[in-house]
Structure 1
Amino acid sequence: MGKVSTSDFRPGMNILLDGEIYTIVDFQHVKPGKGGAFVRTKLKGVENEKNIDKTFRSGESVESIRVEKHPYQFLYAEGDMFFFMHQETYEQIPLERKKVENASFITDGQICTLSIDVDNDQVLFAEPPDQIEAEVEDTDPGVRGDTAQGGSKPATISGGAVVQVPLFINKGDLIRVDTRTGEYLERAKSK
C-alpha cells in the first residue's frame, strides 16, 4: 500500500476510501475560475458493488491498493464454503459463500476469477466467467407451435440458477447464459 496523489489517478486504479476498496472508473480534473482545483471521480466498490461520485481537492493523497485477478478452478462446495484451486500451484483456497458472486452459476471444474488484495494477501471475492454454457436440468417440455409468440419459461440449469428461456428449450439442452444479468443468450452447440 502506498499513498497516491490525485494527479496520479488512472482509470482502473484501486484506492482505499472509508475502509472500503474502490476502483476508479472515470475522473476529471477541474480548474474553476475562483477557488482551488479539484478532481471529480466516479468510483465502483470492489466488494460492495456501490457506485459513488467523490470529489477530491487537487493534490490530495489517498491510499492505493493493489488488486490482482487470478484464474482458479472451482472444486466443490461444502456447507457455506466454496473451494477453489490455483491452476499452476495447485494451492486450494476456501471462500465463504458471501464472497462468491453469482454462486448459482458456478459448476464443478469451472474456471473462475478470484480478486486478491495483494498487499494484505486476502481474497476479496470470486466470480464466474461472464458467459457460461450450462445444461438445462429442469423445465416444462416445449409444445409444438408454442414458439409463434416468442414466449419464455423458467429453466433450472446446472449449478441451480433459474433462467428464463425460450419455449423451444428442453431438459438436457445446452445453453449459453450471461452470468452478470442471468439472461439466456443462445442454444449452445453440443460437445
Structure 2
Amino acid sequence: MIETSDFKRGVCIQFKGAPMQIQHVTFSTPTARGGNTIAKTKLRNLLTGQLLSESIRGGEKFDEVDLEQHDASYMYSDGTNWHFMNNESFETFEFSGEDLGETTGYLKDGQEGLRALLIDGKIVSVSLPMTVDLLVTETDPVIKGATAKAQMKSATLETGMVVQVPAYLTIGEVARIDTRDGHFVERVKQ
C-alpha cells in the first residue's frame, strides 16, 4: 500500500480502478485545526495516457500497480516522438512528447539507466533515474565573490530545459539534476 505521504513524481498507484503514474504533486496543509494535508496531483492513466488532476486527502492508501520493469535506453527524438530501446529484448518503442510530459527535459541521445514499465507485456511508460548529468549551454557569467551558498541563477541545459543553478556555475560545466523535482544537486567534476 502506498500512502499519500509517499507520493512523488513517477510513483504508480491504482486510482479509481485504473493504473496511474504521478506526474506532479504538491502538498498543502489547511490552516483550520485538525485539517488533513492535501496532495494536489497530476496523474497519467498508464493505459490510455489521459491526464487527470486530483486533490487527495492525507492518510489515504492506494494499491501499487503490478508493473514489470526492464532496463531501457533513450536513443533519439525526431521532433514529434522520442525513441527508446528495451535493453533486454532490444525492441524499440516510442512515446510522443505529450505522453512524456516534463520527462523530455531530462533525456539526451544515447542515455542509459532508464526503466521501461510494462503492464501485461505492453510498455506503458518510461521511468528516469534519480539524477541525470546535463551540460550547461547557456547562463549568465560568474558573479564575482559567489560561493556555494550564494544566490541562484537560471541556466539552459543541453536538452533545452531551464533550471536554477548556483551563481558559480559556468557554460560548459556539467550539472547533476534531480529528476523528481528538477532541482540542481551538484556540479559534476569531469
TM bracket (short chain): 0.5 to 0.7
Q: 1:113-132 alignment to 2 at 5 Å?
A: 113-118=115-120, 121-132=121-132
* 1:95 partnered with 2:95: yes
Q: What is aligned with 1:80?
A: 80
**Is contact 1:76–1:84 with CA below 8 Å preserved after alignment?**
yes
Q: What is aligned with 2:134?
A: 134
Give deviations 1:158-184, integer Å, cap 9, x for gaps: 211111011110000111110111111
Greater Rg, structure 1 or structure 2?
1
1:109 is paired with a residue whose SS is: coil
Q: Distance in 2 between matches of 1:129 and 1:79?
A: 23
| Amino acid across the alignment from 1:117 | I
| Amino acid across the alignment from 2:19 | I
Residues 90, 83 of structure 1: CA spacing in aligned structure 2 closer, same or farther, 3 A cutoff? same
**Is contact 1:164–1:183 with CA below 8 Å preserved after alignment?**
yes
Q: TM-score, normalised by structure 1?
A: 0.66
Q: What is aligned with 2:8?
A: none
Give 1:122 shift: 3.0
CA RMSD of aligned residues (A): 3.3
Structure 1's unaligned 5+ residue stretches are 1-9, 24-41, 57-62
Q: What is aligned with 2:165?
A: 165
| Amino acid across the alignment from 2:66 | R
Give 1:51 shift: 6.5
Q: Distance in 1 between matches of 2:106 and 2:93?
A: 19
Q: Distance in 2 between matches of 1:181 and 1:73?
A: 21
Q: Distance in 1 between matches of 2:78 and 2:128?
A: 18
| Amino acid across the alignment from 2:166 | P
* 1:104 partnered with 2:105: yes
Q: Distance in 1 between matches of 2:55 and 2:104?
A: 22
Q: Distance in 2 between matches of 1:79 and 1:95?
A: 11
* 1:21 partnered with 2:19: yes
**Is contact 2:134–2:158 with CA below 8 Å preserved after alignment?**
yes
Q: Distance in 1 between matches of 2:15 and 2:148?
A: 53
* 1:175 partnered with 2:175: yes
2:98 is paired with a residue whose SS is: helix
Give 1:89 shift: 2.2
